[in-house]
């Protein structure tokens, strides 16, 4: 008797645990596990260099978990799937859903074409706690404000599904007939990509270890401690979430089953922000390119390539901003408090379009995620849903004094300032020449002078934003 053969198409679900599609595909069947680098994907949102580096390594680890039976392709997904179905007598094709507009369009077409052939094709929610179309206001319209979305919409609906165990048995098909297989071991990465890998906790096993560490350590002080970049009070699971190396359901219930207090509630609400970003992506797909608040279409952004480059390289002369940007470049990550600070500085002190910041983050972040990245930048710019008011400008000096009082984080990423007295670590331009000399600092040479005046640039930003009212 011929054994039933199913395909599970891995995408942003690079795990065996709590994988609804994989569970379905492995039931009473041989499995062909595949991953496809889609050549038809939207060019603007192909993987950035950092996330691509993570992806390569994650796929290698997943392949080991699958006894080296993961089949990786590069090309047109529909064509690849049709050939696999034809050559391997496939009975069913399964995957977990993605929510970018081009992914929805592609997947709809593929599902229709496969079903035409009489092959079963089913998709699942393996990446979100609630589907975007499940959480709506009473009038049936999508939410645009986070608090009612999360408190009324999410928490007022059915609880997220409980996580599934890893399939008890995965019968991997050994003699897969395949064409144009992509060799993941022959990918090329540049020196920068290789350097940031040392900071990455990649794969399902590392994700579980990190979650356990966070539960036992950072979670107990999360509500307040999450704002201090020199402390390890955050989960650091963003890249693992993005690539689906751990599911939100697994994290949600692991935290819920912990002792409930304001720290756990606050962390769960942060998972709610991830849901909200995907809610916006699904219901307002144009927001990845356009201001969600149309009045910002007339905002007088500056075209200042020199200032943009200094911001990118961490050479603005403002220590906290520069430390954040250097952390990004050196590690492929950035503390969330710093994302707000550097974002505010770019769009409100330098008056540079948020899309330039989003593009830089997209290339440099391991966790570059179309929903989270866009929603975060539109929030800080004031043009998104439930956005920070335009008059809220994060002052990098006061933020630094409040959240990095001793300059521990600053000195970690800006060794030029390591000998500077704590009194001036947040604003070295205010230090007397004698103090700078003792610290081995010459402003404008060993460390940049500030590229803008904070007070003047803030007033200019407010003037520019006020033009939108008229």
Tokens of 416: 């030029």
Q: Pick the closest to residue 372 from 200, 223, 242, 236 (CA basis).
A: 242
Burial 334-372 (b: 16+ CB within 10 A, else e): bbebbbbbbbbbbbbbbbbbbbbbbebbbebbbbbbbbb
Tokens of 456: 């003047």
pLDDT for the residue numbered 387: 67
User: For 1-120, CATH number?
Assistant: 3.40.50.620
Q: What is the pTM of this model?
A: 0.95
- How many residues are present in the chain? 470
* Strand extents, DSSP E, 291-436: none
pLDDT for the residue numbered 39: 87
Distance CA 399, CA 391 (A): 16
Kind plus residue range of the DSSP H or E element containing 37: strand 30-38
Question: Cα–Cα distances in Å, from 336 out to 6, 106, 309, 443?
Answer: 41, 32, 21, 29
Tokens of 1: 């008797």
pLDDT for the residue numbered 181: 82
Question: Which residues share a beta bridge with 172?
Answer: 31
Q: Pick the closest to residue 345 from 449, 461, 230, 448 (CA basis).
A: 461
User: Does domain 127-163+203-283 match CATH 1.10.3720.10?
Assistant: no
Question: Cα–Cα distances in Å, from 402 out to 169, 267, 405, 421?
Answer: 52, 21, 6, 17
Which parts of the chain register pLDDT below 50? Answer: 1
Q: Can you give the residue ranges of every domain in the chain?
A: 1-120, 127-163+203-283, 294-465
CB 352 within 8 A of CB 344: no
pLDDT for the residue numbered 121: 98
Q: Pick the closest to residue 386 from 293, 298, 268 (CA basis).
A: 293
SS3 236: coil
Question: Cα–Cα distances in Å, from 143 out to 70, 97, 274, 346, 383?
Answer: 39, 21, 14, 28, 16
Tokens of 364: 């440099």
CATH architecture of the domain with residue range 294-465: Orthogonal Bundle (1.10)
CB 74 within 8 A of CB 180: yes
Question: Which residues share a beta bridge with 15?
Answer: none
pLDDT for the residue numbered 260: 79
Other C-beta atoms closer than 10 Å to the C-beta of 261 total 12
Q: Give 159's contacts (C-beta < 8 A, 6+ positions apart).
A: none
CB 93 within 8 A of CB 117: no
pLDDT for the residue numbered 2: 62
pLDDT for the residue numbered 189: 85
CA dihedral 6, 7, 12, 13 (to 10 degrees): 30
Ramachandran assignment for 30, one of left (phi > 0), alpha (psi -120 to 50 degrees), beta (any other): beta
Distance of alpha carbon 203 from the chain centroid: 15
């Amino acid at each position: 008797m011929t054994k039933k053969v199913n395909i599970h198409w891995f995408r942003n679900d690079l795990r065996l645990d709590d994988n609804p599609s994989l569970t379905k595909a492995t039931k009473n069947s041989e499995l062909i596990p595949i991953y496809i680098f889609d050549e038809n994907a939207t060019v603007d949102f192909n993987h950035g260099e950092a996330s691509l580096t993570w992806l390569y390594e994650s796929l290698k680890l997943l392949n080991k978990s699958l006894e080296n039976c993961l089949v990786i392709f590069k090309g047109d997904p529909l064509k690849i799937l049709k050939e696999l179905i034809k050559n391997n007598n496939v009975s069913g094709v399964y995957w977990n859903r993605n929510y970018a507009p081009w992914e929805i369009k592609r997947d709809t077409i593929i599902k229709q074409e496969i079903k035409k052939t009489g092959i079963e094709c089913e998709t699942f929610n393996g990446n979100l706690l609630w589907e975007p179309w499940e959480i709506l206001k009473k009038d049936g319209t999508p939410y645009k404000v986070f608090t009612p979305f999360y408190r009324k919409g999410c928490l007022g609906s059915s609880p997220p599904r409980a996580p599934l165990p890893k399939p008890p048995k995965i019968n991997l098909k050994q003699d897969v007939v395949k064409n144009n297989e992509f060799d993941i071991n022959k990918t090329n990465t540049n020196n920068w990509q290789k350097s940031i890998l040392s900071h990455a906790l990649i794969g399902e096993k590392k994700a579980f270890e990190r979650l356990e560490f966070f539960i036992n350590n950072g979670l107990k002080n999360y509500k307040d401690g999450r704002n201090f970049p020199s402390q390890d009070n955050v989960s650091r699971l963003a890249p693992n979430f993005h690539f689906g190396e751990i599911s939100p359901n697994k994290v949600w219930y692991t935290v819920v089953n912990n002792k409930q207090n304001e720290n756990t509630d606050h962390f769960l609400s942060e998972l709610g922000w991830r849901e909200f970003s995907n809610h916006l992506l699904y219901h307002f797909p144009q927001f990845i390119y356009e201001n969600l608040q149309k009045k910002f279409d007339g905002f007088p952004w500056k075209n200042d390539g020199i200032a943009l480059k200094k911001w990118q390289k961490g050479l603005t002369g403002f220590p906290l901003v520069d430390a954040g940007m250097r952390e990004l470049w050196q590690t492929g990550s950035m503390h969330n408090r710093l994302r707000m600070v550097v974002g505010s500085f770019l769009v409100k002190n330098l008056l540079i379009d948020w899309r330039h910041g989003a593009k830089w983050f997209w290339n440099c972040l391991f966790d570059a995620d179309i929903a989270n990245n866009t929603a975060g930048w539109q929030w800080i710019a004031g043009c998104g849903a439930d956005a920070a008011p335009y008059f809220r400008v994060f002052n990098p000096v006061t933020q630094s004094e409040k959240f990095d009082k001793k300059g521990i984080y600053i000195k970690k990423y800006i060794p030029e300032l390591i000998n500077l007295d704590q009194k001036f670590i947040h604003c070295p331009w205010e230090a007397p020449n004698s103090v700078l000399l003792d610290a081995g600092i010459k402003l404008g040479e060993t460390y940049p002078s500030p590229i803008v005046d904070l007070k003047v640039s803030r007033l200019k930003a407010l003037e520019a934003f006020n033009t939108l009212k008229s």
